[in-house]
Copies of this chain bind each other. A is one copy, B any other.
Amino acid sequence: MELYIERGFEQTTVTEIASRAGLTQRTFFRHFADKREVLFAGADQLKELIVRTLDSALDSAAPLDAVAEALQVAGAAMQEGGDRPRLRQVVITANPELQERELIKLASLAAAIAGALRQRGVPDPAASLTAEAGIAVFKIAFERWISLDGQQDLPETIREALEELKAVTAGK
């Protein structure tokens, strides 16, 4: 990722990335489908963490609150990456292909959350809507957190965005 920041995503070749990481090209492609994937290396772990947290949520928790709680746990994990999530976002925002990939990852996360909710007995369309609402909260909170240079706690920003969503859907 350092190379993407130094030279720009488009100008960086797989050979350069692999060499910086001390890998051969072949090893690189064993780990990543393409050079875009490097930036989304943590996405699968984050998805698993969210689904696992959701699976262990109390049955008494309202579905959207359980989703928000799981996203807060993921937010806390992301925050531990220090500057990395913010630098990563600078690279992604500068490149339409990376934005596309990010949208795909968020859609896949929404599908995983909806699946976990169905496991908890939430019927459709409530399961899909709750998952999409959770992703909306996460997206807006993450953008806000980035724009504040990480000066605010990410899990707290997610909680605030959830309250805001509840207010707008209640017509306030």
A58: CB under 8 A from chain B? no
Given contacts A65-B171, A169-B64, A170-B169, are A164 and B129 in contact (CB under 8 A)? yes
Copies assembled:
2
A62: CB under 8 A from chain B? yes
Q: Which of A129-168 contact B (CB under 8 A)?
A: 129-130, 132-133, 135-137, 139-140, 143-144, 161, 164-168
Please give, as numbers and ranges, the residues of chain B lying within 8 Å of A5 by CB-CB distance: none
Give the CA-CA distance A65 to B101 in the complex, in Å. Answer: 31
Given contacts A100-B104, A103-B107, are A166 and B161 in contact (CB under 8 A)? no
Contact B129 A161 (CB under 8 A): yes
A62: nearest chain-B partner, CB-CB: B171
Give the CA-CA distance A103 to B101 in the complex, in Å. Answer: 10
Please give, as numbers and ranges, the residues of chain B lying within 8 Å of A22 by CB-CB distance: none
Contact B103 A125 (CB under 8 A): no
- 7 smallest CB-CB distances across A and B, nearest first, come from A132-B136, A62-B171, A103-B103, A169-B169, A100-B100, A130-B168, A166-B169
Interface residues of A (CB under 8 A from B): 62-65, 96, 99-101, 103-104, 107, 125-126, 128-130, 132-133, 135-137, 139-140, 143-144, 161, 164-172
